[in-house]
Amino acid sequence: MADQVGLRERKRQQTRQALISTAIRLFAEKGYDETTVAEITAAAGVSTKTFFNYFASKDEVLFPHLSGRIDGAAGIIEQRKPGETVASVLVRAVEYMLAEASRDELAAGLASARLPMIMSVPAVQAAALRRYFLAETRLAEALHRAYPDTLDMPEAAAVIGSLMGAVLAAALVTMEADGGTGEVQAAARRAMDIAVGGLQALGTRLTIRWPGLVVAPMPGVHADPRHRPVGPTRPRAAAAIPCPWSPPENRSEGLAAVTRSRRGEGRRSRRRRIPARPGWRRYARRPRGQGRGRAPRRRC
Q: Tens digit of pLDDT per residue, the chain (300 long)?
A: 455 557 888 888 889 989 999 999 999 899 999 999 999 999 999 999 999 999 999 999 999 889 899 999 999 999 998 888 888 999 999 999 988 888 888 777 888 888 889 888 999 999 999 999 999 999 999 999 999 988 899 999 999 998 999 999 998 898 888 888 888 889 988 888 888 876 554 433 333 333 443 444 444 444 444 444 444 444 444 444 444 444 445 444 544 544 454 455 444 545 555 555 555 454 455 555 555 555 555 565
Q: Side chain identity at 28, as an amino acid letter?
A: A
- For 265-272, which contacts have Cβ atoms below 8 Å and span 24 or more sequence positions? 266/299, 267/299, 268/296, 268/298, 268/299, 270/296
Q: Side chain identity at 11, as an amino acid letter?
A: K
24 neighbors 110 (Cβ within 8 angstroms): yes
Residues across the chain: 300
For the chain, domains (ranges, CATH) are 8-58 (1.10.10.60), 63-228 (1.10.357)
DSSP lists the bridge partners of residue 7 as none
Would you say the C-alpha torsion 206, 210, 214, 218 has a positive or negative sign? negative
